[in-house]
Amino acid sequence: MRRAQVARAAVPADPGLAELAPDQRLRRLELTVTRRLNGLLHGQYRGLLPGPGSEPAGSREYRPGEDEVRRMDWAVTARTAVPHVRQVDADRELTTWLLVDGSASMEFGTAELDKRELAVAAVAAVGFLTAGVGNRLGAQVLRADGVRRFPARAGRTHLLALLRALLAAPRATAPGSVAGGQPRPPDLADGLDALHRIANRRGLVVVVSDFLDGLPDDAGQQAPWERMLRRLTGRHQVLAIEVADPRELELPDVGLITLMDPETGRCREVCTSDRRLRERYAEAAAAQRDQVHQALRRSGVTHLPLRTDGDWSADIVRHVHAQRRLAAAPAGHRRGGVA
C-alpha cells in the first residue's frame, strides 16, 4: 500500500497550456478545438455568427404574403414604380479577418493562461471552426514594433503558421523600459482602420483584445476605437472577443505590492490589506468593464467575454449555441431580445 501511494505521488501532473513548448501548445489547441468544439458544433457554413446570405444578387418583384417588407429594394421600386425586394446569395466561401491585440496590457495574467495566450487560444478556435473548402483567414497583429499582416489564405498550414507566429512574437514592454525616440506603437483604432481598408468583401471580422486601449476616464465619452468598430459592423459580421484576468477585477489581500501600468510604465505602491481600497478597486474595475461593454453594444458587435481563469472552450460553445438559437428565433423575438 505504501509503495502504491509513493508511485501515485511520483506521477507528474498534466502540464498546463502555458508550460508547454510552442509546437505542443499548437497541438493541444488543435485537439481541444477539433475534439471538444467541433464535436459539439456540427454543420458546415454555419460559422460563429450564423444568419442569412449577404452577397447582393439583384432584385425581383415583391410577392404579397411571401416577402418581408424589410427586404424591399426602395431604389428599384422608385425607379420602376413596381415594388421590388432585394435578393441575396448565401455565403458559400467565408473570409474571416482577425485583429489581434498584442499590446503591453495583453501580457498580464495570473491564472493558467495569461491574456496573450488566451488570445491565441481564441484565434485557434476561430481558425479551426471557420475552416472549410474555399474559406480564407487573414489577420493583423498589433505589436509594439508595428502591425504584422497575414494575407487572407486558405488551408491548415496557413492557420498553423499564424498561430506559431503569435506564440513566438516578442513580448511587449512598457514604454518606460524602452529607449527614447521610439515611434508610438499602433493602437486598436489604428488596427481597425487598417482592417477596414483591406477587408473589402463581406465576411466575418473577429477582434481579440481587452479593449482597454485609450479608454477615457469619463464614461460619457466614446472610446477612440468605437467609431472604427461601428464602421466595420456596417459591412461585416463583427465578433468582439474580450479577454480579462481576475486580478484586473479585484485585488487579493497580499499586503504591500507594486503595481505597474503596462501601457505607460508608471508604478505605484499599494497596500492591499486596506479593505476599503480593495472595495474601491473592485467598483472602479466593474465600472470600467461596464464602459467597455456599453461601447461594444453601441457599436453593434457580438460580444464574447473570456477570462484567463475560465474554461474558454466551454465559453465559446455556449456563445455559438446562443447565437444559433438567436438566428433561428422569429424576427419579433430577436428584436425583443436585443431591446
State pLDDT tens for residues 64-81.
877 777 788 888 888 888
Instruction: Report residue 44 as a C-alpha cell.
Output: 458546415
DSSP H or E segment with residue 59: strand 55-61
For 199-247, write each residue's pLDDT tens digit: 888 888 999 999 998 888 887 889 999 999 999 998 888 999 999 999 9
Percent of the chain with pLDDT over 90: 29
Alpha carbon distance, N-terminus to C-terminus of the chain: 63
DSSP H or E segment with residue 255: none
CA distances from 99 to 120, 129, 196, 206 (A): 11, 17, 11, 6
> Which domains are delineated in the chain?
31-44+93-338 (3.40.50.410), 55-89 (no CATH)
| pLDDT at 132 (0 to 100) | 73
| pLDDT at 3 (0 to 100) | 42
CA 84/CA 121 separation, integer angstroms? 45
Q: Which of 18, 27, 335, 325 is nearest to 164 (CA)?
A: 27
| pLDDT at 335 (0 to 100) | 44
Q: Which of 41, 42, 71 is nearest to 54 (CA)?
A: 71
